[in-house]
């Protein structure tokens, strides 16, 4: 089962950065571990956030805080009468590479 779980932005600069609470991240890992032990395999595979005023491309901060083997979903910008772009990325060495996202109903 795939599931996107929203967590609070705990950054001291919430309009400039997105930061996941370490305790919320660990709680989600525990939930996945417990579900897996009960026969329902789950894992935290990535994170998503938006760039409300800029394009949906990783920022220098995104790169600085990125970790390997994680899927990064970025949406943005949010403007009236315009579709919001949603892009996926993986860390490849010291840079991001865009990956194709396939949405299934």
Q: 6-64 pLDDT, tens per residue? A: 888 898 988 788 888 899 989 999 999 999 999 999 998 998 988 888 899 999 989 98
Do residues 85 and 36 share a domain?
Answer: no
User: Is 24 in the same domain as 49?
Assistant: no
Phi, psi values for residue 71, rounded to 5°? -95, 130
Domain CATH code at residue 69: 3.40.140.10
Q: Is residue 67 part of a domain?
A: yes
The predicted structure's pLDDT at residue 81: 75
Distance between CA atoms of residues 76 and 90, nearest Å: 18
Residues 59 and 96 in one domain: yes
Residue with tokens 């994680």: 70
Same-domain pairing of 60 and 37: no
Neighbours of 61 (CB within 10 A): 13
Residue 80, domain extent? 45-105
| Residue 88 predicted with pLDDT over 90 | yes
Q: Do 48 and 73 meet the contact criterion of CB atoms below 8 Å apart?
A: yes
Q: Residue 4 — pLDDT band, cuts 50, 70, 90?
A: confident
**102 and 62 both lie in a single domain:** yes
pTM score: 0.82
């Amino acid at each position: 089962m795939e599931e996107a779980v929203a967590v609070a932005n705990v950054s001291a600069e919430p309009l400039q950065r997105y930061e996941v609470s370490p305790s919320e991240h660990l709680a989600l890992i525990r939930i996945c571990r417990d579900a897996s032990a009960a026969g329902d395999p789950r894992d935290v595979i990535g994170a998503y956030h938006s760039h409300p005023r800029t394009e949906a491309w990783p920022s220098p901060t995104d790169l600085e805080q990125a970790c390997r083997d994680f899927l990064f979903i970025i949406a943005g910008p949010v403007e009236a009468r315009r579709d919001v772009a949603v892009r996926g990325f993986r860390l490849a060495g010291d840079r991001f590479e865009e990956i194709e996202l396939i949405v299934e109903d």
